A and B are shown apart, each in its own frame.
Chain A
Amino acid sequence: AQRVTQPEKLLSVFKGAPVELKCNYSYSGSPELFWYVQYSRQRLQLLLRHISRESIKGFTADLNKGETSFHLKKPFAQEEDSAMYYCALSGAGGKLIFGQGTELSVKP
């Protein structure tokens, strides 16, 4: 079965602290994985995808096929990073399968 799991509903850190948002997946085949972000009162938007291997807004994510994980990391969190973060897997037909989402709260 295709599934994405984000174990933390809420992650609260102080500004400047490192952040890791966890994502594990279940997929038979070669997965395409994404992180989407939703800032307050804004639409869901793509943050990054594993295939591009780039850093966006200081965030990186590495696909670990052995651990079936795609954790999102940032070494120094900023207050403007506060948002809902969704890990997603691209399944057959191009549909996205989302995790439950993790709310990141960065305190001053």
Chain B
Amino acid sequence: EPEVTQTPSHQVTQMGQEVILRCVPISNHLYFYWYRQILGQKVEFLVSFYNNEISEKSEIFDDQFSVERPDGSNFTLKIRSTKLEDSAMYFCASSELSGEIGELFFGEGSRLTVL
């Protein structure tokens, strides 16, 4: 069964460093998402991506964040200059149809620890 895969599973970085989290969505899916979950808190929407552009982003997704689909298979989340409060589990998800009607398939997550 196809799955969304994410790398790395865990990354530790120093405050101020750039981080890139990678995701390989399911191959025939068209809609891509990033969510994050700070320890003990709810899963929060960051950004959705369709047709090579951002379709929606939350207020969390400020200028320090960017997403890219560089080669038609990977979907990356870049944090330009990490802050302590960026420490969280980051989930990538993809869906064949718009999330309004389509099922979102999630990756296992990338745990980011900012020191």
Contact = CB atoms under 8 A, between A and B. Distances in A.
Interface of A: 32, 42-46, 49, 51, 86, 90, 92-101
A89 B44 CA distance: 12
The 3 A-B residue pairs with the shortest CB-CB distance in the complex, in nearest-first order: A94-B99, A93-B56, A44-B106
A100 B45 contact: no
A86 B103 CA distance: 14
Contacts, number: 62
16 contacts: A32-B100, A43-B109, A44-B43, A51-B101, A90-B100, A92-B56, A93-B56, A94-B31, A94-B55, A94-B56, A94-B99, A95-B99, A98-B42, A100-B42, A101-B42, A101-B43
Contacts of B108: 42-43
Interface residues of B, number: 29
Nearest to B98: A94
Contacts of A99: 42
Contact of A90 (B35, B55, B99): B99
B37 to A, nearest CB: 9
